[in-house]
Amino acid sequence: NAGVTQTPKFQVLKTGQSMTLQCAQDMNHNSMYWYRQDPGMGLRLIYYSASEGTTDKGEVPNGYNVSRLNKREFSLRLESAAPSQTSVYFCASTGRGTTEAFFGQGTRLTVV
């Protein structure tokens, strides 16, 4: 049982480049989330998807877009990467009616 899988694990981008972070869960969870983690700031919610077919902005959505491709997959796209988006990105999921979140291993992104 893989849980939440994120790809890639590491990525270096040049300013202005685009990329998509992939996330998939195999727990049949309804809700999925993208967080970014920065030193001294904990985890901040970028976007979430309460259920398949819906997405909403979180605390820090600027510069990002998301797609809930199906129930399993939730991708995060950076259209034009900026150095301020250097961070560790975590995908998470929760089951319907529960509050326990399961996290992926993270993607360490550096924008130069």
Partner 1 sequence: AQSVTQPDIHITVSEGASLELRCNYSYGATPYLFWYVQSPGQGLQLLLKYFSGDTLVQGIKGFEAEFKRSQSSFNLRKPSVHWSDAAEYFCAVGALSGGYNKLIFGAGTRLAVHP
Contact set with partner 1 (CB under 8 A) = 4, 30-31, 33, 35, 40-45, 48, 50-51, 90, 92, 94, 96-106
Nearest distance, CB of residue 80 and partner 1, angstroms: 27
Q: What is the DSSP string of 51-98?
A: STT--EE-S--TTEEEEE-SSSBEEEEESS--GGG-EEEEEEEE-TT-
65 vs 108 by CB, closer to partner 1 = 108
17 vs 106 by CB, closer to partner 1 = 106
Nearest distance, CB of residue 16 and partner 1, angstroms: 28
Rounded Cα–Cα distance for residues 25 and 40 (Å): 28
Residue 59 · residue 41 · CB < 8 Å: no
Nearest distance, CB of residue 105 and partner 1, angstroms: 4
Amino acid letter for position 15? T
